[in-house]
Amino acid sequence: MSANLIYLASQSPRRRQLLDQLGQAHELLLADADEDAEALELQLHGELPDDYVRRVTANKLAAALARRERRRLPVRPVLCSDTTVALGRDILGKPADAAEALHMLTRLSGHTHRVLTAVSLGWEVGGVLQQAQRVSVSHVRFAAVPPAVLQRYVASGEPMGKAGAYAIQSQIAGWIEHIEGSYSGIMGLPLFETAQLLREAGLEV
């Protein structure tokens, strides 16, 4: 087994692809059926987007580290990430249904929003747990998208399960006018910040 192997506590195929792009070997460390993973993403009243994404990612890491210990798996670094879309102070999470997805996309149309992705890594040095976190912030501007286009996009099912009700690598990208920041961060795992964390943990990236 590779000494460079890490655990990725995420179901996102995009995050797996991005780790592959870095050449980072990984295994999935997914939640058990009795874990309430969605509860980790609940927003606190009045919580700002930056505080939210940091807290949620730290909580995901704590849950994943406990999962690794509970399953008595070999001790290896554990990587977690969370992405949120913010329009001003408002957090646009994963839409509950098609109507909410359309509402979110209508709000984003013709405006600039932020995409915040936090990455947390936990690893051990001499049996002592170390943790570090990085946050990537990008700005994305949508051109004014015709309502009929948004309706077709929602009907495709693509917005479901996505923060802000869209994926940067999907067909809606044809309406994204400008990006400032990290494309991989918008996808869900900022490669620069992730590589920084892995190097901090002594891994070769």
Residue 115 structure tokens: 């995409």
Question: Structurally, how many domains does the chain consist of?
Answer: 1
Residues with catalytic roles: 82
Q: What is the pLDDT of residues 176-198, one digit of tens each?
A: 999 999 999 999 999 999 999 99
> For residue 2, is pLDDT > 60?
no
Q: Provide mean pLDDT across the span 87-94.
A: 95
Residue 1 counted as domain residue = no
Q: How far apart are CA 109 and CA 71, in angstroms?
A: 45
Tell which residue, 162, 144, 43, has the closest CA to residue 98. 162
Could you tell me the CATH number of the domain that includes residue 79?
A: 3.90.950.10
Domain span holding position 37: 6-200
Q: Provide mean pLDDT across the span 109-137.
A: 97
Average model confidence (pLDDT) across the chain: 95
Q: What is the pLDDT of residues 156-181, one digit of tens each?
A: 999 999 999 999 999 999 999 999 99
Residue 205 counted as domain residue = no
Residue 124 counted as domain residue = yes
